[in-house]
Amino acid sequence: MRTNLTREMCGCRILDPLWAGWWRGSGACAARRVGGFGAEARHQSHPRDSSKRSRSLGNQPFPGLLQPENLSREELIDVLRASVLDQKGKPGELTLFSVLPELSQSLGLGEQELQVVQACGKETSGLVLLSSCPQTASRLQKFFAHSRRAQRPTATYWAVTDGVPATSEGKVQAALKLDHVDGIDLVVPLKSPSRKHILEGVKRTLSYFRVVATGSGCALVQLQPLTVFPSQLQVHMVLQLCPVLGDHRYSARVGTVLGQRFLLPAESTKPQRQVLDEALLRRLCLTPSQVAQLPLHLHLHRLHFPGPRPRDAPIELLAPLPSYFSRTLQCLGLHQR
């Protein structure tokens, strides 16, 4: 998996060899128990050269959204280093993985290599866990894998959807495969996968969802994946006929006739810019041309995992919403019940 660096990041040191941060945020928060999506950050960081990055924002309609071409490699390292708010231990296309060696050196870790323990998807904002200790990384990865097998969710996402799910809560199950079409990797659902399909890379996926708020024909949805597959949550919401706002890859699979939504064949539907109706554009204060830059409103909001010692209470991390995400909630009147 490759995570593009398209947002400002801040984070906090949680365990001795473990860091947590998030994309597209402006603060950091770590707590044993967390309630609601609107909790304020308890720490703020101000990376060097922040004025240079703030100037790049201009008057764009998506506050907090940085353009990757405006970041140099050195500026990216500065942002990442500034994201560590509490460090108690040893001190091409821009991606998190491509700069891990420099980040490790910048943090004074010497020969220790940083590893990605848990990360959000390429276009998704939210928490990212890094570790400089192979044993800690292995222990946590085993914990996440065991939790998935036991169908215990460890990650909670927030999404704004164009449309409201038919039920207030439920689960989405789908067999998904990854196809390479016209130079683009696309996830395609299969209705009745055979054993041969499963052996060829088709995966049975599962996500829980709960509608938190509705307004203006949209919804704020809590999502908890029980499996891991590229673009799983976006595709699952499309199967509910409610694509995630800013999904310019899969939203075209939802068609509308006389106000009724239906699924178009995934195999023959090419990705295109998401189409929003005029009323929704007015609520979001966007022009049709600005929709192409609308970021994906999918945010890895919360993670929980065991404490550093067996008797320690579980740790739960909360990532504040990016400013453009919060602005969208305000524009649509989506408030937590």
Domain assignment present for residue 326? The answer is no
Instruction: Give the integer Cα–Cα distance in Å for 82 and 154.
Output: 27
Domain assignment present for residue 301? The answer is no
pLDDT tens digit sequence for 315-328: 898 888 999 999 99
Domain assignment present for residue 331? The answer is no
- The answer to whether residues 279 and 189 belong to one domain is yes
- The answer to whether residues 214 and 139 belong to one domain is no
Q: What's the angle, vertex CA 324, arms to CA 83 and CA 79, rounded to 5?
A: 20
Task: Report the DSSP pairing between strands 125-131 and 298-305.
Answer: parallel
Domain assignment present for residue 332? The answer is no
**Per-residue pLDDT at 20:** 52
Total domains in the chain come to 2
What share of the chain in percent tops pLDDT 90?
Answer: 46
- DSSP assignment of 255-267: EEETTEEEEPPGG
Q: What's the angle, vertex CA 206, arms to CA 205 and CA 212, rounded to 5?
A: 140
- The answer to whether residues 271 and 201 belong to one domain is yes
Alpha carbon 286 to its chain centroid, in Å, reads: 23
Task: Name the H helices within the chain.
Answer: 50-55, 73-82, 100-106, 134-149, 195-199, 232-239, 278-284, 323-332
- The answer to whether residues 204 and 144 belong to one domain is no
- The answer to whether residues 38 and 141 belong to one domain is yes
Q: Tell me which of 24-33, 197-206, 289-298 is least confident.
A: 24-33
pLDDT tens digit sequence for 170-228: 999 999 999 887 788 899 999 887 777 777 789 999 999 999 999 999 999 999 999 99
- The answer to whether residues 163 and 134 belong to one domain is no
Cα–Cα distance list, 30 to 26, 27, 147, 159, 214 (Å): 14, 11, 21, 21, 28
- The answer to whether residues 164 and 232 belong to one domain is yes
- The answer to whether residues 267 and 145 belong to one domain is no
**Per-residue pLDDT at 132:** 86
Instruction: Give the integer Cα–Cα distance in Å for 77 and 75.
Output: 5
Cα–Cα distance list, 135 to 16, 17, 154, 243 (Å): 12, 9, 20, 39
User: The pTM is what?
Assistant: 0.75
Domain assignment present for residue 330? The answer is no
- The answer to whether residues 178 and 82 belong to one domain is no
- The answer to whether residues 85 and 131 belong to one domain is yes
Neighbours of 103 (CB within 10 A): 20
- DSSP assignment of 180-240: EETTEEEEEEESS--HHHHHTT-EEEEEEEEEEEEETTEEEEEEEESS--TTHHHHHHHHT
- The answer to whether residues 167 and 203 belong to one domain is yes
pLDDT tens digit sequence for 94-139: 677 778 888 888 888 877 888 888 877 778 998 888 888 888 889 8
Domain assignment present for residue 1? The answer is no
Q: Are the CB atoms for 215 and 332 separated by under 8 Å?
A: yes
- The answer to whether residues 276 and 213 belong to one domain is yes
Cα–Cα distance list, 154 to 10, 128, 161, 319 (Å): 21, 13, 22, 14
Give the domain range for residue 54: 9-153+307-317
Domain assignment present for residue 64? The answer is yes
With cut-offs at 50, 70 and 90, classify the pLDDT of residue 59.
Answer: low
**Per-residue pLDDT at 92:** 60
Return mean pLDDT, the chain.
78
Domain assignment present for residue 2? The answer is no
pLDDT tens digit sequence for 259-282: 899 999 998 899 999 999 999 999
CA nearest neighbour of 116 among 2, 237, 250, 230: 2
Question: 175 - beta bridge partners?
Answer: 190, 204
Instruction: Give the integer Cα–Cα distance in Å for 45 and 38.
Output: 19
**Per-residue pLDDT at 200:** 76
- Asked if the model's pLDDT at residue 64 lies above 90, the reply is no
- Asked if the model's pLDDT at residue 85 lies above 50, the reply is no
Query: Does residue 150 come out as left (phi exceeding 0), alpha (psi in the -120 to 50 range) or beta?
Result: alpha
